């Protein structure tokens, strides 16, 4: 059985090409790397290094060995992650989402079980099924129902989009607006809004979106400008958006597309574990 550290030395040498650089990356001495390479050749019983007076090279066999070593290291790392994820799936309930609203609601609850772990980094909808199958998450809020042999979804609630407009604009006097009425306007938008991002881009003609990665930057821009911004009936609560003392009026968007259904998706084998949390959320989402 070849030790991992020998494979790591081989992969590092293949990448850097010198003993000095290999030793530096692995934070060991150069003689340690030299001894490791000799030991690796002995265990493989093949010549993988071509040693010249002033340099050392990988042989063709050595190049192949380095590629295969990387595969083994990747497999070992995946093995560790899989086992850790499996263990975590029995001790914690890790929750993810494709949009921020459901997570905002979950974090606002007073009685969240202590074993619930919330990941605020939004997921790509394309990775939801694999994330559940790999047990990286116990449950994920999705805007699409997923029903497979191993995964099922339960409807949890609906989220509705509004636009916050300067109170001196003519649209601010309306009880609701349409996407078409927002045509050509410029909006300041938090970048990480998940599924809502494509929705506003697809439905508001000729609009410009000033995306902000940082919440502080978003807040500052809304404070010192009149740019409109979006909120929902969930994100518009609590401390997730600027204060309503910012001369904006929150106007609901009336188009059918401005409303998004959300589901809780989970492995069928995890149903009994996540059901109490789903029940708590269903009671709160109303």
93-149 tens-digit pLDDT: 899 999 999 998 888 887 777 788 899 899 999 999 999 998 889 999 999 999 999
**E strands present in the chain:** 49-52, 55-58, 93-97, 116-118, 139-142, 151-166, 186-190, 208-212, 229-232, 248-252, 259-267
Share the mean pLDDT of the chain.
88
Architecture of domain 90-156+261-284: 3-Layer(aba) Sandwich (3.40)
| Domain spans in the chain, listed from the N-terminal domain onward | 4-87, 90-156+261-284, 159-259
Query: pLDDT per residue over 183-193, tens digit each?
Result: 999 999 999 99
Instruction: Specify the 3-state DSSP secondary structure of 223.
Output: helix
Of the listed ranges 61-65, 218-222, 237-241, the least confidently predicted one is: 237-241
Query: pLDDT per residue over 66-89, tens digit each?
Result: 999 999 989 888 888 777 777 666
Whole-model pTM: value is 0.66
Architecture of domain 4-87: Orthogonal Bundle (1.10)
Query: pLDDT per residue over 238-265, tens digit each?
Result: 445 555 557 789 999 999 999 999 999 9
| Domains 4-87 and 159-259 agree in fold | no
Residue 286 has pLDDT above 80, yes or no: no
Q: Determine the pLDDT at residue 264.
A: 95
- The rounded distance, in Å, linking the Cα atoms of 212 and 267 is 34
Q: Determine the pLDDT at residue 267.
A: 94
* Cβ proximity of 65 and 41 under 8 Å: no
Q: Determine the pLDDT at residue 86.
A: 72
Q: What's 159-259's CATH class? A: alpha beta
Measure the N-to-C terminal CA separation of the chain; round to a whole number of Å: 58
Distance of CA 204 to the CA centre of its chain: 26
Q: Determine the pLDDT at residue 276.
A: 86
Q: Which helix (H) or strand (E) holds 263?
A: strand 259-267
Query: pLDDT per residue over 171-213, tens digit each?
Result: 999 999 999 999 999 999 999 999 999 999 999 999 999 999 9
Higher pLDDT, 281 or 131: 131
Q: Residue 215 — very low, low, confident or very high, per pLDDT cuts 50/70/90?
A: confident
183 secondary structure, DSSP code = T
- The rounded distance, in Å, linking the Cα atoms of 17 and 56 is 8
Cα dihedral across residues 223, 228, 230, 231: positive or negative: positive
Q: Determine the pLDDT at residue 237.
A: 52
Q: Which helix (H) or strand (E) holds 133?
A: helix 128-133
Q: Determine the pLDDT at residue 232.
A: 92
């Amino acid at each position: 059985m070849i030790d991992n550290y020998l494979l790591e030395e081989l992969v590092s040498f293949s990448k850097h090409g010198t003993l000095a650089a290999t030793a530096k990356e692995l934070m060991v001495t150069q003689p340690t790397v030299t001894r490791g390479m000799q030991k690796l050749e002995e265990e493989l019983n093949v010549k993988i290094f071509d040693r010249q007076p002033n340099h050392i090279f990988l042989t063709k066999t050595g190049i192949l060995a380095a590629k295969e070593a990387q595969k083994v290291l990747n497999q070992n790392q995946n093995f560790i992650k899989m086992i850790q994820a499996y263990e975590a799936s029995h001790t914690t309930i890790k929750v993810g989402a494709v949009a921020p609203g459901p997570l905002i609601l979950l974090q606002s609850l007073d009685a969240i079980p202590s074993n619930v772990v919330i990941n605020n980094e939004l997921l790509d909808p394309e990775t939801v099924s694999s994330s559940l199958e790999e047990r990286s998450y116990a449950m994920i809020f999705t805007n699409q129902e997923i029903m497979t042999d191993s995964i099922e979804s339960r409807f949890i609630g609906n989220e509705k989009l509004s636009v916050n407009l300067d109170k001196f604009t003519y649209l601010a006097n309306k009880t609701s607006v349409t996407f078409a009425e927002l045509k050509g306007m410029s909006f300041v938008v938090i970048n990480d809004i998940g599924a809502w991002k494509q929705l506003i881009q697809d439905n508001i003609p000729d609009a410009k979106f000033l995306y902000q990665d940082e919440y502080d930057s978003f807040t500052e821009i809304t404070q010192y400008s009149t740019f409109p911004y979006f909120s929902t009936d969930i994100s518009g609560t609590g401390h997730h958006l600027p204060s309503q003392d910012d001369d904006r009026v929150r106007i609901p968007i009336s188009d059918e597309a401005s409303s998004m259904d959300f589901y809780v998706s989970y492995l069928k084998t995890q149903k009994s574990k996540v059901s109490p949390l789903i029940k708590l959320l269903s009671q709160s989402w109303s």
